Chain A
Amino acid sequence: MLQTLIEAIRLVSAPEVIIAMLLASIYGLVVGSLPGLSATMATALLVPVTFYLSPIAAIATIVAASSMAIFSGDIPGALLRIPGTPASAAYADEAYAMTRKGEAELALGAGVWFSAVGGIAGTLSLMVLAPPLAEIALSFSTFEYFWLAFLGLMCATLVARSSPVKAIAAMFLGLLVSCVGIENPGGVPRFTFGMTDLLGGIEPIPALVGVFAVAQVMRAMLTPEPPPLPKRKFGSIMAGQWRLTKLYHWQMTRGNIVGIIIGVLPGAGADMAAWVSYAMSKRFSKTPEKFGTGHVEGLVEAGASNNASIASGWVPSLLFGIPGDTIAAIAIGVLYMKGLNPGPTLFTEKASSMYAIYLMFIIANILMIPLGIIMIRMAVHVLKAPRSSVMPVIMLCCAVGSFAIGNNLFGVITVATFGVIGYIMEENGYPVAAMVLGIVMGTMVEQAFVTSLIKSDGSILPFFERPISAVLAACTIAAFAWPLFVWVRRKFMIRKGSTQTA
């Protein structure tokens, strides 16, 4: 135990890791703060760079960039009412209302402080939850893996704030994309249309870059430039945060816990954590009427929640290779690439690397406070950068990054294609995150499904016979039936309403 901890400290304190972490933090803060450039996109564009780093440095960049980007999405939310990342969308209105009341410092300070606290709470949960869950996971068979992966996909469709039918369709689309190639139970070329480039399948990372980055550039072509930021000088940012912590300690803890639970669920991540926590905060507040008028309470709870989910989202990723959200999906790709294949044995075989991941999360969240304060002070200048100078650089990163993944120009074609697909889907209300998770998890779902079917001789019953798999199956079916239930109930209420008025 002590030996592994010392080894982990040695791994993290390597100069390469420290430099990578600092640079990734700055990168994450800047990209996350630019409206329209999401935390997922920041992380996805970083992947080609991680190819050329040592395993620990590669994971360090992902950890640092994603944590920072989730926080810094609050900055344009508070100053411009344009959330920098979807996870900040839940409370962007509230933060902007505070800015208009002249409390921008308090709103942004709460963002940085409670994000850091949330991140550390999430890390602690990762440290506490992962090893015992790994013990349980050792006894999992393909039936459990199938249900777990399927449950993750279903959660991803529930998160989307759009039609559940469209979300499920998007998920199926992603699974269909993952069918391409020869990596299937029979090893035969499937849906390759005779193209050699498709034999290896469609890589998730170029697809992600296309869906999140290229589609965003496409959208920028049609939407007006965000309004310029009014010049302002900030007062002390951390003043009053300790008072808030004492005043709202219960809200903070609840936010942390909700964030951790949502993060641990496969398929649900920071966006959902922020929405749920904000809604909960309003529901249980003593002064719900103040919400929406620039009240800090919801900010505290949701800010604590979304960052907690970032760290705890690594629990299903590390244990089962099932991502909690799109950022975790990228992290899994990097883990595989670096020989740290996710699975319960990771905690015994590569214990020092696991400890190194915990340490990096804690360091990143502590670093967030000073770097975040600097970023807030510089935001006025960073947000001045016109879109016409940011987007061309994003385009180059898309082209070079997708080429670098396989030193193959086919990657660039994939990025362009998925840019178009992502753009059309988003415009028509199909959530792209569900598709992305489908692409990432497709091979695993299929493998678990087909192996289970072979084991059971084509019968469906054994899928429900083992106790854990029965529980997981029940959860999955509940997630499937929930929108149906809401729909039926709503229809019923409308009918009742119309008969009453008649």
Chain B
Amino acid sequence: MRLSDRYTGLFLVGLGSLSAYGGWLLPPVPGQPVGPNVFPLVIGTGLAICGLMIAFGIGHSFEEEEELIPLEPGQQIVVRSRFVEGIRALLPPALLLFYVLAVDRLGFIITAGLIVLATSTALGARLKLAIPLMLLAPVGIHLIFAKMLRVPLPAGLLPMPW
């Protein structure tokens, strides 16, 4: 998801000004000239200045073009639309949010199994690989974290025997 420098720069200007304003609203420490308000004010201003410079393309000449590794003869590039690309990229964070929402109800093993299945098939694994992985990886992780390190992972619908 490559955006133009103008957009990211202007976003930073907005974010910087908002945080400077937010900092300015904070109450100072009684009897002191400075308090929790100074730092956000300084940072926000700095961020806004940087954002302006980026939007105007200052410093762009320092950026190195990304080196592309030449493709091997057997390899081929899969061409996807921007929309599909965006959905694919957002899959991992979406799965983590799914974990947050589902883990207490479904339990760790089931939620983790679903995450593994989704990630591996999205990366092109065949079911021959994805299904054993879905069954084994959650149990392995559960063994390490819940059994050995005593992290309270929710049992949910499928408690483990240990």
B75 at the interface (CB under 8 A from A): yes
Cα A392 to Cα B114 in complex, Å, equals 10
Give the secondary structure class of B's interface.
helix
Measured between beta carbons, the chain B residues less than 8 angstroms from A427 are 1-3
B125 at the interface (CB under 8 A from A): yes
Which of A165, A188, A395, A419 gathers the greatest number of chain B CB atoms within 10 Å?
A165
Contacting pair B26 A190 (CB below 8 A) = yes
Interface digits, A427-465 against B, CB 8 Å rule (1 contact, 0 not)? Answer: 111100000000000000010011001100110000000
Given A165-B53, A419-B96, A428-B3, do A186 and B47 touch, yes or no (CB 8 Å)?
A: no
Cα A185 to Cα B40 in complex, Å, equals 12
Measured between beta carbons, the chain B residues less than 8 angstroms from A295 are none
Contacting pair B60 A214 (CB below 8 A) = no
From B28, B74, B123, A391 is in contact (CB under 8 Å) with B123
Question: Which listed segment binds B: A110-118, A166-174, A280-288?
Answer: A166-174
A220 at the interface (CB under 8 A from B): yes
Interface digits, B41-83 against A, CB 8 Å rule (1 contact, 0 not)? Answer: 0111011001101100011111110000101101111100000
Contacting pair B22 A191 (CB below 8 A) = yes
Contacting pair B34 A454 (CB below 8 A) = yes
B158 at the interface (CB under 8 A from A): no
Interface digits, B131-162 against A, CB 8 Å rule (1 contact, 0 not)? Answer: 00100011001001100111111000000000
Closest A residue to B138 by beta carbon equals: A396
Contacting pair A428 B119 (CB below 8 A) = no
A54 at the interface (CB under 8 A from B): no
Query: Nearest-CB distance from A95 to chain B (Å)?
Result: 14
Contacting pair A386 B129 (CB below 8 A) = yes
From A52, A179, A188, A446, B19 is in contact (CB under 8 Å) with A179
Query: Nearest-CB distance from A376 to chain B (Å)?
Result: 22
Contacting pair A169 B54 (CB below 8 A) = yes
Cα A455 to Cα B141 in complex, Å, equals 51
From B23, B33, B133, A457 is in contact (CB under 8 Å) with B33
Cα A400 to Cα B152 in complex, Å, equals 10
Query: Nearest-CB distance from A71 to chain B (Å)?
Result: 22
Measured between beta carbons, the chain B residues less than 8 angstroms from A222 are 85, 88-89
Contacting pair B96 A415 (CB below 8 A) = yes
From B63, B97, B112, B129, A396 is in contact (CB under 8 Å) with B112
For chain A, give the interface size range.
35 or more
Which residues of A58-101 are within 8 A (CB) of B?
81-82
Which of A172, A190, A221, A389 gathers the greatest number of chain B CB atoms within 10 Å?
A172
From B26, B103, B137, B145, A188 is in contact (CB under 8 Å) with B26
From A186, A389, A487, B28 is in contact (CB under 8 Å) with A186
Cα A423 to Cα B1 in complex, Å, equals 9
Cα A52 to Cα B150 in complex, Å, equals 8
Cα A392 to Cα B96 in complex, Å, equals 11
Contacting pair B149 A450 (CB below 8 A) = no
Which residues of A411-426 are within 8 A (CB) of B?
412-413, 415-417, 419-420, 423-424
22 contacts between A and B (CB under 8 A): A161-B64, A163-B63, A166-B50, A169-B51, A176-B43, A184-B36, A188-B27, A190-B22, A217-B92, A221-B123, A222-B85, A222-B89, A224-B71, A387-B123, A392-B137, A395-B115, A424-B1, A427-B3, A428-B2, A453-B33, A486-B62, A487-B58
Interface residues of A (CB under 8 A from B): 48-49, 51-52, 81-82, 161-166, 168-169, 172-173, 175-176, 179, 184-188, 190-191, 214, 217-222, 224-225, 227, 386-389, 391-393, 395-400, 403-404, 407, 409, 412-413, 415-417, 419-420, 423-424, 427-430, 446, 449-450, 453-454, 457-458, 483, 486-487, 490
